[in-house]
Amino acid sequence: MGFLTALLSFIVTIGILVTIHEYGHYWVAKKFDVKVLRFSVGFGKVIKSFKRGETEFALCAIPLGGYVKMLDEREPVVAESEKHRAFNQKSVYQRFAIVAAGPLANFLLAIILYAIIFMIGVNGIKPVIGNITPLGIFAQSELQTNDELLSINNVLTPSISEFSLAFIQASASKSLVIQARSEQLNLKTVKLNLAQDFLSKPEQGVGHYLGFEFALPKIPAVINQVVLNSAASLAGLQKDDQILNANGKLIKTWQDFVGVIQTKPIKPIELLIKRDNTMLTLFLTPKLVNDQAKAGVSVLVPKDYLKDWQVFTQKDPLDALSSAGTKVYQLTLLNLKMIKKMIVGETSIEQISGPVTIANYAGKSAEVGLVPFLSFLALISIGLGLLNLLPIPLLDGGHLFFYVIEIIKGSAVSEPIQQAFAKLGLLLILSLTFVALYNDLIRLL
């Protein structure tokens, strides 16, 4: 069932994203009176097709993309009476608009999906201040640990997600008024002046920028699962073990245990644990995974863990649309930062995922519910839009790059140069595909 869910969810995901992308090309092409010969979802053998007007609509066997085939004089045999409707006969600005419409349709889809999510309503966690970083922005204000953040510039922030969105929307003003409520239920109003532009480094996160961590309810340090061949497995830790002490430090919560792991990488940690009313001493040596210390265990989460911390937020259509636009803008910037880091070698290419990983996450999100699946769909739509805007020949961004050169120099880039770059683009795309499939295989194994 898990495999079938993943497969069907993947087909639905790719089908929706590709259809919307290609419809963007199709719609603008028709507006500029370009003759569209075929609208295809998928590649390869045609499974089903029908003709509407002058366009054939086809569903093909390989669901990994699609295309819109337009009349073009570079193809053989174009009737003299139809040459004015050929794609290559349109102005460079019209061609630019037609090509750009595909990726833009993906961004528009993401905005619509997030707006629907916000109107349906989402569960969230109250934005309560946890640890405050010394010398950070919050440390220089009256805000304290365990204060609940109620609003930013009079915009209510009932959840962590709402606080983050409101902060991003308000951060451009460089001046924020935050209302909070202390543990003693005292209200406080704090004005913050922002020196650095948050959106210049959005990947740092709102909490890191403001110098604090969001608080979460405390969980006992009881182990739920132990990863095979992990540091915890080699140390002899088992399911339901409760960690009482680490290197002489009392462990009251799971967060305490995580803190010890992160501050003692690749050094033995003496643990005192409770197992079936018996006290045991074990020695755990964390492993470094992507430069982070890992024990290889998960926490046993009580059923009522978030009972008093959960909130349900729902927005009216206009507010939902505004928040959706902010969300897509933020995620687009984050994706651009990640792409830049991959190009300059600051982030591993292991982050690149292929169809297997996408199918896996599509299936998992669909099993959880409608809102998680729509959120996943929006996230992938943003990624698809950005990918197609990269200046790689054969992708939309490659064509747009040539059109920009054409606008600057006043004439089109020669066919031999375009063909040479197309071969380089094909090589790059095949290389990225190989890396993505290799990463998928490694994750499966």
Rounded to whole angstroms, the Cα distance separating 283 from 299 reads 19
Q: 134: Cβ–Cβ under 8 A, 6 or more apart, which residues? A: none
How many Å apart are CA 266 and CA 232, to the nearest integer? Answer: 12
| H-assigned helices in 293-369 | 317-344, 355-368
Characterize the bridge pairing of strands 187-193 and 129-132. unpaired
Sheet of 187-193: strand order equals 155-156, 148-152, 175-181, 187-193
Q: In the Cβ-directed half-sphere of 71, how many Cα atoms lie within 13 Å?
A: 21
Choose among 379, 382, 375, 383: nearest CA to 117: 375
d(CA 46, CA 40) in angstroms, rounded, equals 9
Cα–Cα distance for residue pair 102/108, rounded to 1 Å: 10
Torsion of the alpha carbons at 77, 81, 87 and 93, rounded to the nearest 10: 150
Token output for 17: 């994203």
Alpha helix segments (H runs only) across 223-368: 231-235, 254-263, 317-344, 355-368
Beta-strand pair 175-181/155-156:
unpaired
Which of 22, 54, 73, 367 is catalytic? The answer is 22
**203 is known as an active-site residue:** no
Q: Is the dihedral of CA 143, 149, 150, 155 positive or negative?
A: positive
Supply the residues annotated as catalytic.
Answer: 22
